[in-house]
Structure 1
Amino acid sequence: MSGNGRIYRISALAVLGGALFGFDMSSMSAIISTQPYLCQFNQRGFDKEGRCLGPTSDTQGGVTAAMPGGSLIGALVSGWLSDRCGRKKTIMIGSVFWIAGSVVTCASVNLPMLAVGRFINGFAVGICSAQVPVYITEIAPPTLRGRLVAMQQWAITWGILIMYFICFGCSYVDGAGAFRIPWGLQMLPAICLCVGLSFEPESPRWLFKKGREMEAKDVLAQLHGGGNANSQFVQRELQDIKATVSQEHKHADASWLELFTPSMMNRTLIGVFTQIWSQLTGMNVMMYYITYVFTMAGLSNAGTNEVLIPSSVSFIINVVMTVPALVWMDRWGRRPPLLIGAALMCLWLTITAIMFGVYARDAEPGEFASASESMVVSGPAARVIIAATCLFVASFAPTWGPVSWTYPPELFPLRLRGKAVALATSANWTFNFALAYFVPPAFENITWKTYVIFAVFCAVMFLHVFFFFPETANKTLEEIEQIFDDKRPGAIKYIGTPAWKTYNDRKAMITHELRDSISDSEDGDKAQTNSTEPGARDGIMTATSNEPMPASGNDA
């Protein structure tokens, strides 16, 4: 379809908001085991060789958790902000907060200042992570929606990888520059996001909702009609949006409470648990504390940066294995990746728990830089743990990673989408906060049983997805509404169509879009032919009794 190139460009720019999260995650995971960081924020004194031991595990958990704590607040605020200011402007506001937070973080001289800077960064990430998927969802055609929103997750993985190697290079810098340089550089994507997005259009659905119909029509023409406002696709989209907005205007302005009404509760729970389960897989824990895991598996000496090289392998896997989702997720649908991903991650977590539980010994006091590095394993068991960790990342990357961002915006009607996705994303950050704080003490106190907890979560999420998560791929946002209509034959009260009976009919949607595209092409050829006939001047047909002028979008 015409206009897809611009949609890709807008999406690539918007998902820089996801890269901000990746930058933060990676900068913390790569830095927390280095001596400059441990000495700048030292609370535990020195080991027998004179190396700094850094913050306590509880304090490190709190500093790490400051970012998701801010993200929780940012995500909740983003719903109101998005409905009031628009999707695009909200993302730009988030980028400004990121720049401010990066300045504070870079200048941190103590742990409270560092926590405040990370909280501001988190506030920005909460805004962007909630509203970037909404923005892309509302501009993308159905057959590309999954791929384009999945770019958010891919941007996160690239942010993790790029910042990780920046941190690795800076680890050879003497003194505080080893962590101040990466924390300063991470504001650059936010500057690009804020400036670049200012030249792009607002969501046509938000414009229509605000009564700015001509602007919405122009945006749809630019994005989907090659500039032709009378394109079949544009006209059909306008009619669908107009019908939806007309229906929603009969109701009072959407409120947070409406998300918890009986008719909406099922969707709310699905959206919220999509984000909760994505955290309870344990993936972000792997990213934040992967240096701990690989150090316990014998890949570095305590307190050195040697572990950064093998740890980077998992980040490379994360980037590479997200690509299949970008290419095929709209073909796969949403349910199969969630089910397969949950099953595989449960397997790898179980294997890791067994290896640590059976073959590891307790670490001696002072053996490692952090008390959270509480186990020591070597030999074949260590290699199995490293392999299982990499396979876990490879299982998450094409499944729960991209789908957890793509799925929630598809579930909700226009009037509730901004608030609903904000609520779902806030659930993500609530559990991100809890896990970031929980994991260091968990590794210290319950050691290998930490992996058992996440394995159980993966088993439960498999069952939840099978029975309650419907297929939304290759359906218009307006068609998805019908899935949750509990008045239809065979529907379950308050649920709608049973999840296991929904399916992904990609062929039908491609045929539908192709038919519109061919029709538009034929109309364009006809108009070009007619422009050479008598009565045409300067490429514009004059109206005659035999050839009426095409109807405008307002007439349709």
Structure 2
Amino acid sequence: MAPLLNVYTISILTSIGGLLFGFEISSISGVIDTPQYKEYYGNPLGATQGGITSAMPAGSIIGALSAGLLGDWLSRKVAIQAGAILWCIGAAVQAASNGIGMMVAGRLLSGICIGLTSSLVPIYQSEIAPRKVRGRIVSFQQFAITWGILIQYSIQYGCSFLQSEASFRLPWAVQAVPALFLFIGLFWFPYSPRWLASKDRWDETLKVQAFLRTADNDINDPLVLAEYREIEDQLRSERETETRAIGELVSRKMRRRVLLALAMQIGNQLTGANFLDYYILYVYNSVDIADSNMAGFIQYAIKVVITIPVILWSDKWGRRPILIIGALVMAACFFVAGGLYSLYGEPNPVPDEPYAWVIDGNIRVSRSIQACLYLAIACFNLSWAPAVWIYSSEVVPLRIRATTVSLALTCRWTINFAVGFAIPPLFRTTKWGIFIMFGFFNVASSTVVYLAAPETKQRTLEEMDEIFDHGKPLWKSFLALQETNRLEKMARDIEMGK
């Protein structure tokens, strides 16, 4: 029988970091159109609401910038614990806020936690996972994000019936509970074996590998020894060619891999999913959906359910197909929604609402737009939502992995900040044009993946040099490379005493 603490349970519990991310997304989307929130904070519109929303990604930029240094210095798991403490402080400040300034400060502190955890949780998961299920393991991060969004939104929805400030203060306060579980639980989790190896703690590296790969902690298991040997060889090779960190990031050998990790995270933020996550109540109210809160709840439930197939089959589907197909389907959804909006919409006669273009009394068109947005969010959670966490954490070698992911997540949160800040005024000024804009962004993202992203499924982290350096164009690499069983071959040689 498998031990209680194994790769799966460790990854699931560490994904509470993703749960916090989801909490923070819907902690705003669930209240921005409620009377209690509008009354207490003075009905913030346009750039004011954009500033409130984007405070979290602003803090995440700080967290992501520091994640590489802290993750290499303190270890992945200790740095995640530091983020959990910051989250608890941020939740308390938001719940006690007496105005927009204090709420923004709380969201900024929570954002620093999100920057740290969103960078380091996928790294930790990828470094403890067997190669054949690495996609599944890292996908737990996105699954937890969707659950966080749904849980927090459900709490917000229930509390919206309270006729007091508790309608938004209570949900913000309970955000601290999972962070405490994460902080405490990590004391029982192992360090990343690859981080231990980077610190020359080889005895611990072998013991952790045995703990993660065998039921009886057998350090003489051939597969354990083979993976240990591969880590050892890769680290020795990296140290023989070691350069300054910044120089390594922009070196000819590494820059395309670093740029690809950055491009994946930027593309994720330009799909339009943030628009639908942060401001979905604006959209549904503008198209005259009767119960916009329930419509939002259904959307977030779809996100949870649709992520399950990715966890089960991402290592069979591969990274490339789901990214390309997902982006193209999302593009089609946004184009159709924007077209319906432009054909059947009209100027909003009410001046102080967050949307300047409305569809009134045409339920078939409203439901069609709603269906398009549901399909878009489903495709996002089947493709770009989980795949970029996997890709960014696996394409670069150990010596620059934390730094690269930190830089990629910094780009992600910078774009998230810009999108979160710009959408409220853009939604008022461009009307339906914002849907067309995100449609074109998705087409561009699918093109980048087709031309520049090789297939990495079921490869060990130490095999990425082979994938990127085999000499063929990257977009042909998924045809040129055949799946290998090098690790199994090494294990057989060890077992036979070679």
TM-score by structure 1 length?
Answer: 0.86
Letter aligned with residue 146 of structure 2? T
SS of residue in 1 equivalent to 2:416 = helix
Contact 1:75 1:423 in 2 (8 A): yes
Q: Separation in 1 of the partners of 2:182 and 2:55?
A: 23
> 1:373-394: CA deviations, max 9, x gaps?
6423433211110110111111
Paired letter, 2:214: G
User: Structure 2 vs 1, CA of residues 182 and 469 (structure 1 numbering), >3 Å: closer, same or farther?
Assistant: same
| Structure 2, unpaired ranges of 5+ | none
- Cα root mean square deviation, aligned: 2.2
Match of 1:143 in 2: 132
1:33 counterpart residue number: 33
Task: Please state which structure has a larger fraction of its residues in helix.
Answer: 2
1:295 match: 285
CA shift for structure 1 position 268:
1.1
Q: 2:223·2:487 contact (CA, 8 Å) conserved in 1?
A: no
Distance in 1 between the 2:488 and 2:3 partners?
13
Deviation at 1:370, TM superposition (A): 3.0
Deviation at 1:404, TM superposition (A): 1.0
Determine the structure 2 residue equivalent to 1:484: 468
C-alpha contact 1:140 1:148 (8 A) present in aligned 2: yes
Pairing 1:120–2:109 present: yes
Please name the residue that 1:499 is paired with.
Answer: 475
SS of the residue corresponding to residue 240 of structure 2 reads coil
Q: Residues 388 and 275 (structure 1 numbering): CA distance in 2 closer, same or farther, change over 3 Å?
A: same
Q: Match for residue 364 of structure 2?
A: 380
Q: How does 1:347-362 map to 2 (within 5 A)?
A: 347-362=332-347
Matches within 5 A, 1:15-30: 15-30=15-30
Residue 80 of structure 2 corresponds to 91
Residue 179 of structure 2 aligns with an amino acid whose one-letter code is A
Q: Does 1:77 align with 2:60?
A: no
Q: How does 1:523-534 map to 2 (within 5 A)?
A: none
- CA deviations over 1:61-97 (Å, ceiling 9, x no partner): 0010000011011011010000101011111111111
Q: How does 1:208-247 map to 2 (within 5 A)?
A: 208-226=197-215, 227-247=217-237
8 Å contact from structure 1 (residues 28, 288) kept in 2: yes
Counterpart code for 1:347: A
**What residue identity is the alignment partner of 1:231?**
D
Partner in structure 1 of residue 45 of structure 2:
56
Single out whichever of 58-67 and 254-263 deviates more from structure 2. 254-263
Instruction: Say if 2:192 is the partner of 1:203.
Output: yes
Give 2:305's aligned residue: 320
Which SS does the other structure have where 1:262 is aligned?
coil
After TM superposition, list the pairs within 5 Å mapping 1:375-524 onto structure 2. 375-377=358-360, 378-485=362-469, 488=470, 491=471, 497-502=473-478, 509=485
Partner residue of 2:250? 260
SS at match of 2:131: coil
Q: 1:135 to 1:101 in 2, by over 3 A?
A: same
CA distance in 2, matches of 1:336, 1:3: 35
Could you tell me whether the CA contact under 8 Å between 2:258 and 2:404 is conserved in 1? yes
CA distance in 2, matches of 1:20, 1:253: 36
Contact 1:473 1:504 in 2 (8 A): no
TM-score (norm 2): 0.95
Do structure 1's residue 335 and structure 2's residue 320 form an aligned pair? yes
Q: Distance in 2 between matches of 1:514 and 1:266?
A: 30
Helix, strand or coil at the partner of 1:109 = coil
Q: Residue 20 of structure 1 contacts residue 159 of structure 1 at CA under 8 Å; is this kept in 2?
A: yes
* TM-aligned CA deviation for residue 447 of structure 1: 0.8
Counting only pairs closer than 5 Å after superposition, residues 130-209 of structure 1 correspond to structure 2 as 130-209=119-198
Q: Judging changes above 3 Å, is the alpha-carbon distance between structure 1 residues 507 and 2 closer, same or farther for their aligned structure 2 residues?
A: farther
Q: Secondary structure at the match of 1:249?
A: helix
For 1:283, the equivalent position in structure 2 comes to 273
> In structure 2, the residue corresponding to 1:365 is in which secondary structure?
coil
Q: Which amino acid aligns with 1:421?
A: V
In 2 relative to 1, CA 325–463 (structure 1 residues): closer, same or farther, beyond 3 Å? same
| Higher Rg of the two aligned structures | 1
Size of the aligned set, in residue pairs, is 496
Which residue type is aligned with residue 502 of structure 1? F
- For 1:478, the aligned partner's letter is E
Equivalent residue of 1:397, what SS? helix
Matched residue SS, 1:229: coil
List runs of 5+ in structure 1 lacking aligned partners: 43-53, 301-305, 524-549
Report the secondary structure of 1:201's partner residue: coil
Aligned partners of 2:136 and 2:482: how far apart in 1? 13
Asked if 1 retains the 8 angstrom alpha-carbon contact of 2:226 and 2:487, the reply is: no
| CA 1:252–1:505: 2 relative to 1, 3 Å | closer
How far is 1:512 from its partner?
Answer: 6.1
Percent of aligned pairs with the same amino acid: 36
Structure 1 counterpart of 2:442, one-letter code? C
Cα distance in 2 between the residues matched to 1:372 and 1:109: 27
Structure 2 distance, partners of 1:504, 1:281, is: 30
Q: Aligned partners of 1:142, 1:254: CA distance in 2, in Å?
A: 29
Which amino acid counterpart does residue 397 of structure 2 have in structure 1? Answer: P
Task: Sort the Cα spacing of 1:92 and 1:362 in 2 relative to 1 into closer, same or farther, 3 A.
Answer: same
Distance in 2, matches of 1:312 and 1:503, equals 41
2:292 corresponding residue in structure 1: 307
Q: CA separation in 2, counterparts of 1:465 and 1:444?
A: 32
For residue 500 of structure 1, report the CA deviation from its aligned partner: 2.6
The question of whether the paired residues in 2 share the 8 Å contact of 1:56 and 1:371 is answered with yes
Distance 1:476 1:160 in 2: 32
Tell me, what secondary structure is at the counterpart of 2:253? helix
